[in-house]
A and B are shown apart, each in its own frame.
Chain A
């Protein structure tokens, strides 16, 4: 069954998208045909063609090469954001669910506060506090997903804690710590792994949003959100400047979503 799920067309496409984008990030030189930063003014605002797959921007830079070069920013940013969110959030959730009582109450009220603030607003506030830049944008996006991870991890831990096998483990002489590590955490983590994949996509989207609003990487970094923002001025005459990077972002987000669904089925 596991094999057949990974061979479904939607899953194959999702995996393909992620593999392609990951190879862009790892080996940009292999895929980019031009220098992402150096433009040739003679070739400004050319539509997509054989020489320039995604066309060129106002200063004649090859858009495809810029998208390839930007993938590393999006992927590392997304990965950093998810790591921050997952590690802090899941730890908070496990502690809250396993310890219970007043610790649970305090941690979960903090989570409620985090959830009450709209994600983008929270990310913007964090960026303004920490300063602009790719790293800080990733941290900001990570903070917004802490609450989601904490809630999910807590609900899983509470559920697993009530099972007979956890009580049986205490009955077999297990201490709180050993039962937590051996039984509760391993059996709680499957949905968290699926959420990592899902949050990875939305972190990329949020980082691009911050870039688009000018809170992320400064120009001339070829960050995806920034690319779309720069192309906005030419929306009427050069559609490809916004549409094609936008399509890449959308494809990556949808692919991670598909992957997350599959992971949940396989692990669940």
Chain B
């Protein structure tokens, strides 16, 4: 029998909540060899994080491991004593957590955080630990390690924090590293560097890596073998290329088809009638935020201009801090520009008078990123969707009811959901409600602010199809704000690429994606996981 570093057999885990049991992981087996990356892929609720927690013995208190075995070389980890766990965690198994922003102790310097496992386990001297910390920081690509080691987590960016956590995870050269969604909280260009780093460490130290991710693109690019999870069960597993090229199961096929980076662009080119003035016209838009009395104000948006013809989708793309959300709020009239102008239909958004404001509100609607925060938790679905009708005084009571029912039908929400509360709906269903609320009063323009970013890929694909269908049927115009270039390529007709508030490139989507001019656009495109493999005929 071959010697696996980590060998999980038939693992079954239940969660108990309020007396009822739910199976989270159902008879899953996996193994990893030294220097190999195993990608565990699945959507939220598929049980992939539960597997990670079981490997390192940090499962939630209401988790019950019913059967199976988790072996690290010759050591059985299930049912291990606390003392044994202390000897295993950090030294033999390292963990790279999901969100770097709350995984470091804010009261300790990052150097102290990295040194902690070494001081606890290896019994090295202070001086040699210090040298090792600096060497590790240098290895994970942090410039000026001496200075950084003395800094506190809040002084570092998200990507830097994740590097620090990686340094801490590999400090004692563990045999296995578990990376639980290591980059989902980071921007694409940062994500790419972090994944490169994990790759590099694996080949240098011959570590086995369990890479847990919801992102098929990441898995495709980085994993040697894949394990596809669905509802706690193994759907299929095998070498990455085989699984992706000849998926055996329907679920895997759907999952692959729904990854925007792997889907083909199907959007037809829309012929714009040049004689009709565009619906949206943004000229020299600038928004400054004051920071204290003396210093120069911060420019979140700096001289941005674009036009959007009626019935088309214009995308605003950029990483965090690029000013894209600020532009969205300016467009929806929730914020005032410092300079420049926005015109939507016949409204000058900068100078709306009271009566006009209400007409403008009806013409422009905003859909938010987080479907959990944008719906009033105390109101039923039908009353949420009916609210714009009530406010704008559209229709009588009975007519409104009919319009709400029709709208819910248009966003494919079954009738019986009308009386439910938001908390009884899934993320995708909530986003459908938010879209229904935005569309019910028949606006001209809908600003979609990262409207699909919080959703699983299959749900994301459904919502994107829904948005396209509604656009065709109702002649809607969309402003699509996103950090995800693959999604943007699928849904938009024209794009503005933003970096730190400045528009670096703009134009027709297909042209911009096939022939990016600006180095930043090129870097963004290359960083999309799975992008470089697009033209690879062997997959």
> Which A residues are closer than 8 A to B by beta carbons?
1, 4, 163-165, 167-175, 178, 182-183, 186-187
Contacts and interface: CB of A to CB of B under 8 A. Distances in A.
Contacts of A187: 376-378
Interface in B343-388: 358, 361-362, 365-366, 368, 370, 373-379, 387-388
A164 B370 contact: yes
Contacts of B538: none
B358 A173 contact: yes
Contact of B368 (A168, A169, A175, A186): A168
Interface residues of B, number: 24
21 contacts: A1-B18, A163-B373, A164-B373, A165-B375, A165-B376, A167-B334, A167-B366, A168-B366, A168-B374, A168-B375, A168-B437, A169-B376, A170-B334, A170-B361, A172-B388, A173-B358, A173-B361, A173-B362, A173-B391, A178-B391, A183-B379
Nearest to B387: A172
Interface string B234-272: 000000000000000000000000000000000000000
A182 B384 CA distance: 11
A163 B377 CA distance: 11
B375 A171 contact: no
Contacts of A167: 334, 366
Interface string B398-441: 00000000000000000000000000000000000010010001
Across the A-B interface, give the 8 residue pairs with the lowest CB-CB distance, nearest first: A173-B391, A172-B388, A164-B374, A164-B373, A165-B376, A173-B361, A164-B368, A173-B392
Contacts of B370: 164
B332 interface: yes
A165 B373 contact: yes
A266 to B, nearest CB: 14
Contact of A174 (B332, B366, B379, B391): B391
A183 B441 CA distance: 20
Main secondary structure of the interface of A (DSSP, over half): helix
A64 B123 CA distance: 71
Nearest to B374: A164
A188 B311 CA distance: 40
Contacts of A165: 373-377
A1 to B, nearest CB: 6
Contacts of A1: 18
Nearest to B391: A173
Given A1-B18, A168-B366, A173 B388 contact: yes
Given A171-B361, A173-B441, A187-B378, 10 more contacts: A164-B373, A164-B374, A165-B375, A165-B376, A169-B387, A171-B366, A172-B437, A173-B388, A175-B391, A178-B391
A171 B375 CA distance: 12
Interface string B436-448: 0100010000000
Interface string B493-537: 000000000000000000000000000000000000000000000
A248 to B, nearest CB: 36
B373 A171 contact: no
A187 B376 CA distance: 8
B517 to A, nearest CB: 36
A171 B387 contact: no
A51 to B, nearest CB: 49
A183 B365 CA distance: 19
Nearest to A187: B378
A234 to B, nearest CB: 53
A183 B375 CA distance: 10
A229 to B, nearest CB: 47
Nearest to A172: B388
Interface centre among A169, A173, A175 (most CB of B within 10 A): A173
A183 B387 CA distance: 11
A164 to B, nearest CB: 4
Interface in B313-338: 332, 334
B375 A172 contact: no
A228 to B, nearest CB: 44
Contacts of A174: 387, 391
Nearest to A168: B374
A169 B385 CA distance: 11
